[in-house]
Structure 1
Amino acid sequence: MKWTFALGLFTATTLAIPALIPGGGGLNVYKLRLSSRTKALDGQYLGVNGSTVGVFKTASSATPVQFYPVTDKKTGLVELHTYPIAAVDQILALVGTNGLLTFSNVADPAKAAFPRGTTCDWKSFRLAGGNPTAPGRPSNSLAYAGSNGSWTAFPSGNKGDWSVKWKGADAYTTTDSMPIEVVYEPIEKIVDENGDGIITIA
């Protein structure tokens, strides 16, 4: 099924789309969910609470975060830009110290200020596909190439809320954290088929 819209019906925020998909290109939009042996986490979609990405029970934060990948042609790694497109570019990043990095939604991270010693990396993700890297692991996983380590969920705030972090190989964590995989699922493809400002959602 397809839906077609004229850009004149969209807000100023959405008007940024044609500049990103010139000449009939498109945006592949995805959402993220968890794969885990922990029943309470498995299959849960990731939302945003404040700037933290995780599993949250409040209605406003439970809406799955959506992103479109922007690939660095030299490295093959991707940036995860959130969708719908905002006036100030929002990008998913890993932020933290001492090898324990919180999955975060950061506005224009290239210009954001952080305390000395803080890592903010938004350029080192990989959308893995094809065969799983190990038996039992999902094939459509979000990988982080910035350091050796693994995805981990930590209890956060209200009961049933979890924040998602990247745990480096040497990072210290508490025993109540849970190992997870972060996987991506396609939602839709945003297409300007003729470069004429008419958007089709396929």
Structure 2
Amino acid sequence: MKWFHNILSIGLVATSVAAAPLTSRQESNGGLDLFKLKLTSPNADLDGKYLAMNGETLGIFEGDDTSPVRVYQTDSSKEGLKELHTYPVGIVDHSLGLKGPPGLMTFVDMVSPGSADPGDGQIVAYDTFRMTEGKVTNNGDGQWLAFPGQDQSWQVKWSDGTSVITTDYMVVEIAYEDAGEGRYNE
């Protein structure tokens, strides 16, 4: 029984140490400023719709079980850039990021992004976002695109203009708006 208590105490310490850096950069006032992300587009089917997750992919998905993703920002180790972490906060870090081949990367939810293995010929970026003038962009040249999927769904991707892509996409912007305040492990 003594070994059980030792293992439990080690697990509790490891959990708190692993999660602490994620919120300590923002939570100095005791809370997390939460944001919802929504599309702005000349296309009425997309304009004003909130981004949700289906698996790891972010986009617009129809259905009763989809709710807007809520995020909080932290400073990136790259000067002037941000990381967007999903809320509620759990034991394992979830961060929004871009993943895919150079030129056209999918907007995704990443588990433990600092240790993500992109795979051959793929890129992973989770610490390169800018949040200015009410908009979320990626660092560098490019734009957000929404691609149609099944059942009136749309997947959001970042294009730097160097990839050959299909012509069925819509140019969109991602706006962020206040979603209230959250607490760590509320």
2:170 is the counterpart of 1:169: no
Task: Report if aligned partners of 1:24, 1:191 keep a CA contact under 8 Å in 2.
Answer: no
Structure 1 residue 81 corresponds to structure 2 residue 89:
no
Of 64, 67, 72, which aligns to 1:63? 67
Call closer, same or farther: CA 1:169–1:59 in 2, change over 3 Å. Answer: same
Identity of aligned residues (%): 36
Correspondence for 1:32 = 37
1:45 shift after superposition: 0.4
Q: Which has the higher helix share?
A: 2
Give the CA deviation at 1:22: 5.8
Change in CA separation of 1:126 and 1:19 when aligned onto 2, cut-off 3 Å = closer
Q: Which runs of 5+ in 2 are unaligned?
A: 1-11
Structure 1 residues 46-84: Cα deviation after superposition (integer angstroms, max 9, x where no partner): 000000000001222x20001000013761110000000
Report the TM-score when normalising by structure 2. 0.82
What letter matches 2:141 in structure 1?
A: N
For residues 91-132 of structure 1, give each alpha carbon's deviation from its aligned partner in whole angstroms, at most 9, with x where no partner exists.
Answer: 000001031000000101121222111110001101012xxx
Distance change >3 Å, CA 96–CA 75, structure 1 → 2: same
The counterpart of 2:136, out of the listed 123, 130, 142, is: 142
**CA–CA distance in 2 between the matches of 1:35 and 1:125?**
18
Q: Residues 69, 149 of structure 1: CA spacing in aligned structure 2 closer, same or farther, 3 A cutoff? A: same
Q: Deviations over 1:9-55 (max 9, x none)?
A: xxx99xx6896366534311001000000010000000000000000
5+ residue gaps in structure 1? 1-11, 130-139
Match of 2:144 in 1: 151
Paired positions, count: 169
Whole-Å Cα distance in 2 between the matches of residues 101 and 19 of structure 1?
Answer: 27
Greater relative CO (CA pairs within 8 A, separation 6+)? 1
Equivalent pair of 2:78/2:128 in contact (CA under 8 Å):
no
